Structure 1
Amino acid sequence: MKDFFEVLKHSPLFYHISLSEFETMHSCIGARVQRFSKNEIILLTGNRVDFIGIVLSGSVKILNETADGDVSIDAILFESEMFAESLACAEITHSPVTVMAAEDCEVMFFDYKKVIRSCNSACSFHSRLVENMLLIMAQKNLMQKEKIAILSSHSLRERLLIFLQLQRKHYGSSRFEIPYNREELAEYLCVNRSTMSSELSKMRDEGLIKFEKNRFELII
């Protein structure tokens, strides 16, 4: 587990927790590591969730399937980012989303109930985990509200502008790199890829944005 701590220490779940504390803690919270190949399912829609996952290497996609069978990307998560905590906390009987390996990756899983409850060893730092968990869930709730704001916009341009404005706010700069390629961005925004690409080109021609692949500059 020591080998993974360089990644885990960047995860908000382990803020203010030292290596020695983690080494003491990892067995208490049922930590285990599993490798997945690209496009392999990590969590399938409908499955029960009783764990938290943290990406150790590579990346994973959070996918949402509509009643019509269309699939959209809720998020792409990279090293040190966490997933399934809200589902586990809410004791969701059946997962409403699928988690898939976006590329070859490693994931560390924790038993959710062991994370939020004091262990028999009465680890003094266990309360920090709970505090960190609450903060993460609050932040993700705000992110979900941001996506609702994007999808509530009726026009494609509005969705693109709100998304890019939120990225500018997140990075604190008018120049930033988004975590999605064109296909993934279209799925995230729930729009047609070719129509979206055409609209981005129009926005660039009008002097609203500049872009090269995943790198954007928001001018307005």
Structure 2
Amino acid sequence: MTKAAQDTSIKYRDVPLFKGIALENLDALLFCMRSYVHSYKKGEHIRLRSERGQHVGIVLKGTVHMLKTDVWGNDTLLTYMSEGEIFGESLSALQEEDSYVTFVSSTATEVLFLSFDKAIHVCKNRCVFHYQLIENLFDLIGRKNRQLMEKIEVTSQSSLREKILAYLSMQAQKQNSRYITLSLSRTDMAQFLCTNRSAMTRELSNLREQGIIDFDKNTFVLKK
């Protein structure tokens, strides 16, 4: 393995999609997957279909939002992907145009793209590490489905207060602590909860006054 290839492999070895794949095999795998990396500024749209075919994306840096826009132009934040997470795999599997939803970089973002067709079909060499990749891919798809179910669980609550508390409780369980840090801004959080920012801000203040939570910027404490 060349020094450049080794540096590339080391960069990606902590990505969950490549779990269990030896460092010396990563470069060959990335070549086989027709991988490439692209950087985005905050607010840029990310396309998964290009002249190279349909791709899935892996967030190497930053955060990507999955948005659904209605006929009036209002966006709903369906879910969001942080470093190491994949996106676009469901649309690729369905062979649908990615215009059904849009993917937008919410910060300066770097994405690794892999050919979806190459990822799910083993090449003629039948490399063991390719089977590992497929296993990892389906595990990540399962996790994404769980994220979408969590979204339904939160937004199905009957009141804004219950939505906020359900979301904060879910984050506390994930972080295994009542002291949590949220990755969403206030605007993004309101969008995720399907409400407006002003109403959410008022409810957060009410919850703090009642001693149920406390917060400073994106750090929250669940007290009761």
Counterpart of 1:146 in structure 2 is 150
Q: Is the 8 A contact 2:45 2:103 kept in 1?
A: yes
Distance 2:7 2:65 in 1: 24
Runs of 4 or more above 4 Å deviation: none
Q: Is the 8 A contact 1:4 1:56 kept in 2?
A: no
Amino acid at match of 1:98: T
Amino acid at match of 2:84: S
CA 153–17 in structure 1, closer or farther in 2 if over 3 Å, else same: same
CA shift at 1:7, angstroms?
4.6
Amino acid at match of 2:168: L
Counterpart of 1:207 in structure 2 is 211
Q: Is the 8 A contact 1:13 1:129 kept in 2?
A: yes
Counterpart of 2:194 in structure 1 is 190
Task: Give a deviation string over 1:33-61, Cα, whole Å, max 9, x none.
Answer: 112222121138xxxx8211011223222
CA 52–210 in structure 1, closer or farther in 2 if over 3 Å, else same: same
Amino acid at match of 1:201: S
Q: 1:181 aligns with which of 185, 189, 202?
A: 185
Counterpart of 1:9 in structure 2 is 13
Distance 1:94 1:102 in 2: 18
CA RMSD, 1 decimal? 1.9
Residue 133 (1) aligns with residue 128 (2)? no
* Alignment TM-score, normalising by the size of structure 1: 0.91
Q: Is the 8 A contact 1:13 1:133 kept in 2?
A: yes
Counterpart of 2:170 in structure 1 is 166
Amino acid at match of 1:142: R
Distance 2:27 2:9 in 1: 9
Distance 2:66 2:170 in 1: 19
Q: Is the 8 A contact 2:65 2:104 kept in 1?
A: yes
Distance 1:56 1:4 in 2: 12
Amino acid at match of 1:92: E
Amino acid at match of 1:115: A
Counterpart of 2:70 in structure 1 is 66
Residue 218 (1) aligns with residue 216 (2)? no
**Farther off after superposition, 186-195 or 69-78:** 69-78
CA shift at 1:2, angstroms?
4.2
**Farther off after superposition, 57-66 or 26-35:** 57-66
Q: Is the 8 A contact 2:68 2:100 kept in 1?
A: yes
Task: Give a deviation string over 1:164-196, Cα, whole Å, max 9, x none.
Answer: 111111111111101111111001111010110
Counterpart of 1:84 in structure 2 is 88
Amino acid at match of 1:163: Y
Residue 101 (1) aligns with residue 115 (2)? no
* Alignment TM-score, normalising by the size of structure 2: 0.90
Q: What runs of 5+ residues in structure 1 fail to find an aligned partner?
A: none
Q: What runs of 5+ residues in structure 2 fail to find an aligned partner?
A: none
CA shift at 1:94, angstroms?
4.4
